[in-house]
């Protein structure tokens, strides 16, 4: 799978753990940065990752900041993105099964590298259930997104 990944200054260390983990698992990684502790703005990394996913240049995206909150907010402003902020295995599985998320957000200051790797594995390995109720809910969210795009 081709995965785009981005982090800000508060998440780059965890990104530096996740990138080799993804490659070890056989995934192709598109790393948009950042690679240092100098203060940067998380939207500058969330937006390119989300654009790659929407354009089909990447199948999924992973975003990391201090808490994951800022990245998830920025990601969910991008039409076509369903980003979930996840810090546990149950949520990682549920957000794929029920919400068909295409972007994962995590917080480096919230979870450690071992848990992050497990979350990434579960999130990547879990398919969307395709249950009718879940498809209906996603359709409603997409309709709301389209309505907002027509009437900002």
What are the catalytic residues?
65, 98
Q: How many CB atoms lie within 10 A of CB 48?
A: 17
Count of residues for the chain?
152
Ramachandran region, residue 23 (left: φ > 0; alpha: ψ -120 to 50; beta: rest) = alpha
Q: Nearest-CA neighbor of 117 among 45, 108, 8, 46?
A: 108
Helix (H) or strand (E) holding 64: strand 60-65
Spatial distance between the Cα atoms of 119 and 113, rounded to a whole number of angstroms: 10
């Amino acid at each position: 799978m081709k995965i785009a990944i981005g982090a800000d200054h508060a998440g780059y260390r965890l990104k530096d753990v996740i990138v080799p983990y993804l490659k070890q698992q056989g995934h192709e990684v598109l790393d948009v940065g950042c690679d240092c502790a100098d203060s940067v703005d998380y939207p500058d990394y969330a937006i390119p990752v989300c654009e790659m996913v929407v354009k089909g240049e990447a199948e999924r995206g992973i975003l990391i900041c201090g808490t994951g909150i800022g990245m998830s907010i920025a990601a969910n402003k991008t039409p076509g993105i369903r980003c979930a902020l996840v810090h546990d295995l149950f949520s990682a599985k549920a957000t794929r099964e029920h919400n068909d998320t295409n972007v994962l957000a995590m917080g480096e200051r919230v979870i450690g590298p071992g848990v992050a790797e497990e979350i990434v594995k579960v999130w990547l390995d879990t398919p969307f259930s395709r249950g009718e109720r879940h498809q209906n809910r996603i359709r409603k969210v997409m309709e709301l997104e389209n309505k907002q795009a027509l009437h900002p």
